[in-house]
């Protein structure tokens, strides 16, 4: 597969592949090789044994050589300031040993390693003390992007921080060897936490050369990995690392934030022996995750021909639905498994982004209340997602149909609410990722043959970092009626925006009414949440209950569910309960429920009966007018099922 023409999701997988074979050791493939039993090999092994003690004896910085011409091995071992003799010795030993193993026959090799602090080991056939060495070099970066809307502000803080750190670093040119040319700095950046940066040069180079080395690293990073959330550049003469959290060594605190969108590898400039990986992390968890993603990704690729055969070449009779991103077809694999194939429209650029998003997000998810992604296919222009086939269509198909609704008794609705709750709970906190679905609605809840709900459509889902709670977007996507006010008016979303949508879903499931059917109810401007709120104020919540729910003995339970729904749609997102709390409240009837505060998008009674003539009360978000005038509008169209 030609790297140049690879579609980005495949590039992503290719990068993951190379990340597994490429570790942080840098073997210079251009400097020459030696034979396993040669004198050079022996000399290097000899240094390996004594280097650590020599470094500690020399206060953390040692340059020496071993052997006779032409088999002399030159070596440097150096620890960052703050490393005690024992820790330094251990770091040098580990680093040296890993270099010998990863670069078995390259005469020249180096790496910077260390968890609590940094240490450097460099082997070479040529003497190099006092010489600036820029190559080989290696870049590691965090694959998660800075949000586009924050990028400009972020860049200016970043640029200033890099140049400030560099300036103060080259001033440290008279102190002891280890603290010479060592600097770390912090700068707060709006919308994120602090940016932390660490820079170090080897003490043997001049301050001009040190500066040049770091400038090259900063430039390289800016050119090729601009907009990422962290990075490391390793060169024989200098080290650069920056992150959105504090760290001290190279590999401490490194977490692998899940890729919210796969990185597009930029081709390195010709002839530069850079190895580009998206591996900001070493450590067991990272590799486990990586292997997992890889294993999943490998196992789920379908041949286009297989899918053409399964769907009778995407015949019209197999079409299940049509959405903005493409069509959905029913298909049957050779082994008899029924599938739903989402075929992304070839022209839609937007669709491609959603596609990558969906594969990356869904491939990692396994829960019985989430629709399972069986695989994908990317061949030529075709972008296909293969899902398990869910036979009983979607919740809206039953709920909003006067006849089919009758089949949904309370036990069934209760089961559906419970399943949706567990599915969202998994997304929000149990899946190891924090995922905001962003488009929960009745048509995205599919029903299996036992009428168990399965949440579908992750095209708009967002993965949050574990410590991230809120994000802003300038592109508000979703479905009006299900979107909370802070999202519609400020583009702000969080797990609490999903909670709002979930609340609307509960109220719809119990009432069997679309919120839009309240449009002009009783001649007033109205929507579902407003209607339910009025019933609450009137102490007549029972009026909401769909008359086809006949189980009188369950009345109190149904009322309790409405009450929980009202807690979910409260205007202030901080007041809305989390999904785990909701799960508790739904399953434990002894928990006393809070009194709900008014919902978001509450329409106060006005004298006018024409909804479009209704004046907004002062202080109400102006978006109310359009939330109301847009009926049934999914702003970003999502494939219906
Ligand atoms: C490097 O030296 C250490 C300490 O003597 C030893 O345990 C290790 O096996 C050596 N590594 C190699 C590759 O020879
Ligand atoms: C390191 O120290 C030992 C003595 O402990 C010495 O024999 C050796 O030559 C020194 N140099 C190197 C490069 O290890
Ligand atoms: C270097 O070592 C690798 C693996 O041990 C081997 O495949 C390769 O042929 C060696 N190269 C040279 C030039 O000896
Ligand atoms: C140390 O840094 C100062 C300020 O950057 C510079 O003027 C001086 O020449 C440097 N000294 C050495 C030895 O590099
Ligand atoms: C989101 O935008 C709001 C203003 O609309 C701002 O107060 C908030 O700090 C922003 N949050 C993030 C995480 O960028
Ligand atoms: C950012 O750094 C400043 C010191 O420069 C510190 O006071 C503050 O607590 C840091 N903020 C975070 C979120 O770490
Ligand atoms: C599907 O259509 C393509 C051309 O559009 C054709 O080459 C292929 O043989 C067809 N496959 C099947 C299973 O009908
Ligand atoms: C049929 O094939 C699909 C895709 O390879 C696989 O996920 C499924 O488990 C298979 N089903 C059976 C019954 O073998
Ligand atoms: C759901 O699907 C199963 C299997 O296709 C079918 O037997 C059942 O009747 C369906 N249920 C409803 C309520 O349509
Ligand atoms: C009401 O809900 C439907 C989905 O059931 C949605 O498409 C529509 O936009 C909502 N309308 C209002 C006014 O909230
Ligand atoms: C509130 O209660 C009164 C009297 O019980 C009733 O007439 C009125 O229709 C109720 N309003 C709503 C919105 O249910």
Note the pLDDT tens digit of each residue in 96-122: 998 998 889 999 999 888 777 789 999
* Confidence grade of residue 479 (pLDDT, cut at 50, 70, 90): low
Question: DSSP 3-state assignment of 372?
Answer: coil
pLDDT at 506 over 90: yes
* Confidence grade of residue 357 (pLDDT, cut at 50, 70, 90): low
* Confidence grade of residue 139 (pLDDT, cut at 50, 70, 90): confident
Mean pLDDT of 217-241: 87
Q: Are strands 326-332 and 275-277 parallel, antiparallel or unpaired?
A: unpaired
Which helix (H) or strand (E) is 211 found in, with range?
Answer: helix 207-225
Q: Which residue puts its alpha carbon closest to atom 3 of ligand 1?
A: 49
pLDDT at 509 over 70: yes
Question: DSSP 3-state assignment of 408?
Answer: coil
Task: Choose the weakest-confidence range: 168-177, 521-530, 576-585, 608-617.
Answer: 608-617
Query: What's the confidence (pLDDT) of residue 15?
Result: 31
pLDDT at 641 over 50: no
With tokens 């008899």, the residue in question is 336
Mean pLDDT of 416-426: 95
The token pair that represents 316 in the structure block: 């019209």
Distance CA 374, CA 611 (A): 46
Query: How far does the centroid of ligand 6 lie from the alpha carbon of residue 23, in Å?
Result: 32
Which helix (H) or strand (E) is 275 found in, with range?
Answer: strand 275-277
Please report the atom of ligand 6 found closest to the CA of residue 194.
Answer: 1
Residue 439 among the catalytic residues: yes
Query: How far does the centroid of ligand 10 lie from the alpha carbon of residue 478, in Å?
Result: 11
- Nearest-CA neighbor of 608 among 620, 617, 599? 617
* Confidence grade of residue 164 (pLDDT, cut at 50, 70, 90): very high
Which helix (H) or strand (E) is 487 found in, with range?
Answer: helix 485-490
Q: 553-562 pLDDT, tens per residue?
A: 899 999 999 9
Query: What's the confidence (pLDDT) of residue 159?
Result: 93
Cα 228 from chain centroid? 12
* Confidence grade of residue 547 (pLDDT, cut at 50, 70, 90): very high
Mean pLDDT of 221-239: 86
More confident residue, 129 or 116: 129
Distance CA 119, CA 401 (A): 68
Neighbours of 289 (CB within 10 A): 17
| Exposed / middle / buried, residue 553 (Cβ in 10 Å: 0-12, 13-18, 19+) | exposed
Mean pLDDT of 233-247: 87
pLDDT at 599 over 60: yes
The token pair that represents 229 in the structure block: 């959330």
More confident residue, 9 or 499: 499
Mean pLDDT estimate for the chain: 76
Query: What's the confidence (pLDDT) of residue 486?
Result: 83
Q: 48-86 pLDDT, tens per residue?
A: 999 999 999 988 899 999 888 888 999 999 998 878 888
Peptide bond preceding 70: is omega within 30 degrees of 0, i.e. cis?
yes
Distance CA 122, CA 95 (A): 10
Domains and CATH numbers, the chain: 20-129 (3.30.430.20), 139-251 (3.30.430.20), 285-388 (3.30.200.20), 395-629 (1.10.510.10)
Please report the atom of ligand 10 found closest to the CA of residue 480.
Answer: 9
Query: What's the confidence (pLDDT) of residue 249?
Result: 62
Find out whether 492 and 486 touch, Cβ atoms under 8 Å. yes
Rg (CA), the chain: 30
Mean pLDDT of 317-343: 85
Task: Choose the weakest-confidence range: 325-339, 411-425, 574-588.
Answer: 325-339
**Which of 108, 439, 457, 498 is an active site residue?**
439
Q: Are strands 182-188 and 194-201 parallel, antiparallel or unpaired?
A: antiparallel
Going by C-beta distance under 8 Å and a sequence separation of 6 or more, which residues neighbour residue 590?
Answer: none
Assess whether the C-beta atom of 622 lies below 6 angstroms from ligand 9: no
With tokens 């149990």, the residue in question is 430
Query: What's the confidence (pLDDT) of residue 375?
Result: 83
Question: DSSP 3-state assignment of 267?
Answer: coil
Query: How far does the centroid of ligand 8 lie from the alpha carbon of residue 337, in Å?
Result: 6
Mean pLDDT of 5-16: 31
Q: Which residue puts its alpha carbon closest to atom 14 of ligand 1?
A: 45
Query: What's the confidence (pLDDT) of residue 382?
Result: 81
Distance CA 471, CA 207 (A): 41
Query: What's the confidence (pLDDT) of residue 351?
Result: 54
What is the CA angle 343-348-349, rounded to 5? 120
Query: What's the confidence (pLDDT) of residue 527?
Result: 76
Q: 146-163 pLDDT, tens per residue?
A: 888 888 888 999 999 999
Phi, psi values for residue 241, rounded to 5°:
-140, 140
Find out whether 351 and 383 touch, Cβ atoms under 8 Å. yes
Q: 513-528 pLDDT, tens per residue?
A: 875 444 433 434 457 8
Please report the atom of ligand 11 found closest to the CA of residue 531.
Answer: 13
Find out whether 261 and 356 touch, Cβ atoms under 8 Å. yes
Q: With pLDDT > 90 as the criterion, what percentage of the chain qualifies?
A: 38
Mean pLDDT of 416-425: 96
- Nearest-CA neighbor of 381 among 354, 353, 344? 344
Test site for ligand 7: of 310, 313, 316, most ligand atoms within 8 A of the Cβ: 313
Q: With pLDDT > 70 as the criterion, what percentage of the chain qualifies?
A: 73
Which helix (H) or strand (E) is 158 found in, with range?
Answer: helix 151-171
Residue 342 annotated as lining a ligand binding site: yes
What is the rounded (10 degree) CA torsion for 471, 472, 478, 480? Answer: 120
What is the rounded (10 degree) CA torsion for 242, 246, 247, 253? Answer: -110
* Confidence grade of residue 613 (pLDDT, cut at 50, 70, 90): very low
Mean pLDDT of 322-328: 71
Q: Which residue puts its alpha carbon closest to atom 8 of ligand 10?
A: 632
Test site for ligand 1: of 40, 41, 47, 48, most ligand atoms within 8 A of the Cβ: 48
More confident residue, 293 or 197: 197
Distance CA 370, CA 297 (A): 18
Distance CA 432, CA 608 (A): 50
Query: How far does the centroid of ligand 7 lie from the alpha carbon of residue 4, in Å?
Result: 28
- Nearest-CA neighbor of 220 among 109, 212, 261, 206? 212
Assess whether the C-beta atom of 407 lies below 6 angstroms from ligand 9: yes
Query: What's the confidence (pLDDT) of residue 575?
Result: 95
pLDDT at 634 over 60: no
Q: 457-477 pLDDT, tens per residue?
A: 876 666 665 566 777 666 666
Mean pLDDT of 571-576: 94
The token pair that represents 149 in the structure block: 């809307």
Given 3-state DSSP classes, what are the helix, strand and coil percentages for the chain, each rounded to the nearest 5? 40, 20, 45
Question: DSSP 3-state assignment of 52?
Answer: helix
Query: What's the confidence (pLDDT) of residue 218?
Result: 94
Mean pLDDT of 225-251: 81
Task: Choose the weakest-confidence range: 110-119, 373-382, 553-562, 598-607.
Answer: 598-607
Query: What's the confidence (pLDDT) of residue 50?
Result: 93
More confident residue, 544 or 254: 544
Mean pLDDT of 216-243: 87
pLDDT at 432 over 90: no
Q: 278-315 pLDDT, tens per residue?
A: 222 233 333 343 334 444 455 567 888 999 999 999 99
Going by C-beta distance under 8 Å and a sequence separation of 6 or more, which residues neighbour residue 430?
Answer: 367
Query: What's the confidence (pLDDT) of residue 4?
Result: 30
- Nearest-CA neighbor of 361 among 372, 347, 350, 369? 372
Encode burial over 513-524: b for 16+ CB neighbours within 10 A, e otherwise.
Answer: bbbbbbeeeeeb
Query: What's the confidence (pLDDT) of residue 19?
Result: 29
pLDDT at 602 over 50: yes
């Amino acid at each position: 597969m030609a790297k140049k023409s690879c579609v980005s999701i495949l590039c992503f997988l290719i990068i993951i592949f190379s990340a597994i074979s490429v570790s942080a050791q840098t073997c210079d493939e251009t400097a020459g090789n030696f034979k396993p039993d040669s004198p050079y090999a022996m000399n290097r092994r000899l240094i390996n044994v004594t280097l650590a003690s020599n470094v500690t004896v020399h206060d953390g910085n040692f340059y020496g050589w071993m052997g006779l011409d032409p088999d002399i091995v030159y070596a440097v071992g150096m620890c960052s300031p703050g490393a005690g003799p024992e820790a330094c010795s251990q770091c040098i030993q580990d680093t040296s040993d890993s270099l010998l193993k990863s670069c078995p026959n390259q005469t020249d090799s180096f790496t910077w390693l260390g968890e609590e602090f940094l240490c450097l080991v460099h082997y070479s056939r040529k003497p190099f003390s006092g010489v600036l060495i820029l190559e080989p070099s290696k870049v590691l970066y965090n694959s998660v992007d800075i949000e586009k809307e924050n990028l400009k502000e972020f860049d200016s803080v970043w640029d200033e921080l890099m140049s400030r750190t560099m300036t103060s670093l080259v001033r440290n040119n008279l102190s002891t060897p280890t603290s010479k040319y060592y600097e770390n700095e912090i700068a707060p950046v709006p919308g994120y936490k602090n940016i932390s940066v660490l820079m170090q040069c080897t003490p043997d180079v001049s301050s001009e050369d040190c500066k040049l080395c770091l400038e090259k690293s900063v430039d390289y990073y800016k050119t090729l990995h601009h907009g990422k959330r962290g990075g490391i550049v390793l060169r024989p003469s200098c080290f650069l690392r920056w992150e959105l959290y504090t760290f001290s060594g190279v590999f401490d605190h490194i977490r692998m934030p899940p890729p919210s969108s796969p990185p597009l590898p930029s081709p390195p400039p010709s002839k530069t022996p850079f190895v580009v990986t998206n591996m900001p992390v070493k450590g067991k968890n990272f590799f486990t995750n990586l292997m997992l993603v890889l294993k999943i990704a490998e196992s789920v690729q379908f041949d286009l021909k297989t899918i053409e055969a399964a769907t009778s070449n995407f015949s019209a009779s197999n079409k299940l639905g049509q959405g903005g991103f493409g069509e959905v077809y029913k298909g049957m694999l050779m082994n008899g498994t029924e599938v739903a194939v989402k075929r992304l429209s070839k022209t839609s650029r937007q669709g491609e982004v959603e596609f990558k998003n969906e594969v990356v997000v869904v491939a990692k998810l396994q829960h019985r209340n989430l629709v399972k992604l069986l695989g994908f296919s990317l061949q030529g222009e075709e972008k296909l997602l293969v899902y398990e086939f869910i036979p009983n269509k979607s919740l809206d198909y039953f709920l909003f149909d006067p006849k089919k609704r009758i089949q949904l008794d309370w036990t069934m609705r209760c089961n559906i609410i419970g399943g949706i709750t567990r599915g969202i709970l998994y997304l929000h906190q149990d899946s190891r990722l924090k995922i905001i679905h962003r488009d929960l609605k009745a048509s995205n809840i599919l029903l299996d043959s036992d009428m168990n709900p399965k949440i579908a459509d992750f095209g708009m889902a967002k993965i949050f970092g574990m410590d991230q709670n809120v994000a802003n977007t300038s592109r508000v996507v979703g479905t009006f009626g299900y979107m909370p006010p802070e999202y519609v008016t400020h583009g702000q979303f969080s797990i609490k925006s999903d909670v709002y949508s979930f609340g609307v879903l509960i109220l719809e499931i119990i009432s069997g009414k679309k919120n839009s059917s309240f449009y002009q109810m009783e001649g007033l401007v109205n929507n579902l949440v407003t209607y339910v709120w009025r019933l609450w104020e009137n102490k007549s919540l029972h009026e909401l209950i769909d008359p086809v729910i006949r189980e009188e003995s369950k009345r109190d339970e149904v009322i309790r569910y409405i009450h929980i729904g009202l807690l979910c749609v409260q205007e202030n997102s901080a007041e809305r309960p989390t999904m785990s709390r909701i799960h508790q409240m739904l399953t434990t009837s002894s928990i006393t429920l809070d009194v709900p505060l008014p919902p978001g998008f509450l329409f106060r009674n006005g004298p006018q009966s024409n909804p479009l003539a209704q004046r907004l009360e002062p202080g109400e978000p102006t978006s109310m007018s359009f939330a109301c005038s847009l009926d049934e509008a999914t702003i970003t169209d999502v494939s219906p099922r």
